[in-house]
Amino acid sequence: MLRILSVEHQSWPLATPFRISRGVKTSAEVVVATIREGEFVGRGEALPYARYGETIDSVLEQVRAFSAEIASGMDREALLWAMPAGAARNAIDCALWDLSARRSGRSVASQLGEGPLPAVESALTVSLDTPEAMRAAAEKMDGAPLVKAKVDARDPEAQLRAVRAGAPRARLIVDPNESWTIELLREMQGLMRELKVDLVEQPLPADRDEALEGFTPAQPICADESCHVADDLPRLLKRYQAINIKLDKTGGLTGALALLQRARAEQLRVMCGCMVSTSLSMAPAFHIARHAEFVDLDGPLWLKQDHPGGVRFAHGALQPPAPALWGG
């Protein structure tokens, strides 16, 4: 039966601005691919990211360019080889997974040989701000088991001390988003030990992370912008102790599963992260998060309004979205 691929841009306002070292956003600008096959419909959401040279228009164009291939029955494995990793492939790949679940009556979890999705201990994010504002934000999260602090190079010590004061019992992830130098990272090691930081995510720019070779950190260092797909791992093994798997980087759940398998084989610690987007993006990511040591899927919690049946934070954990939203 003929498949029809369509794609649209959606804008989801945030409840409060989300700041990192590269800038601030006030809405989640996502692309949603929909594949219809008779009465069955599959959807996948992706967030075009300027850091990787993507725009809304470029991703829409990339998705539309594969209309004929999808109509003729292209499957996920063929897509993996035909299209580069990134937001466009993520949207189509996740739509194909969702369509498979709707058509077969078997959930994605079942197709992967697993049970229903569990709740996960996800980080709650303190976005970059003044130390006073960051402490206030962290205080509102008191009781959360895992907190992630966005910092930059201006005064990371004050920023981190503020977050730790606001959330004294939480495990702590520090994310400079490529804003540090190796010299600053060295200077911060004592503070990392003092504040009992669990993980530092992408401290150096991806194109300068060779400086990490031979460096022994006080805490594991996690590759985010430096790690997209499984083939990236060989050059990262001497630089990082962990990787952050995001479906918008791997180009979908299919590529994310391959990266997860390869990371485990290399004995790397695994984090599952997200862009600030809706629960339609989080649903497939949960299939990686259930196997990750660190989880950061709080993107939808920043929205003014999410999809019905979306993720929610309760009892110290992020509850998975309803199966009706994505993946059966």
Q: Which residues are catalytic?
A: 150, 246
Q: What is the DSSP string of 138-180?
A: HHHTTT-SEEEEE--SSSHHHHHHHHHHHSTTSEEEEE-TT--
Sheet containing strand 3-20, strands side by side: 3-20, 23-37, 40-46
Q: How far apart are CA 148 and CA 144, in angstroms?
A: 11
First and final C-alpha spacing in the chain: 21
Q: How far apart are CA 3 and CA 147, in angstroms?
A: 43
Classified as helix, coil or strand, 328 is coil
Query: How far lies 7's CA from each of 76, 88, 103, in Å?
Result: 17, 10, 20
With the C-alpha atoms ordered 262, 266, 267, 269, is the resulting torsion angle positive or negative? negative
The DSSP secondary-structure symbol of 278 reads -
CA atoms within 13 A on the CB side of 16: 9
Classified as helix, coil or strand, 275 is coil
Q: How far apart are CA 54 and CA 194, in angstroms?
A: 39
Sequence letter at residue 211: A
Query: How far lies 274's CA from each of 89, 163, 168, in Å?
Result: 16, 21, 25
Sequence letter at residue 44: G
Of residues 100, 82, 81, the one with CA closest to residue 35: 100
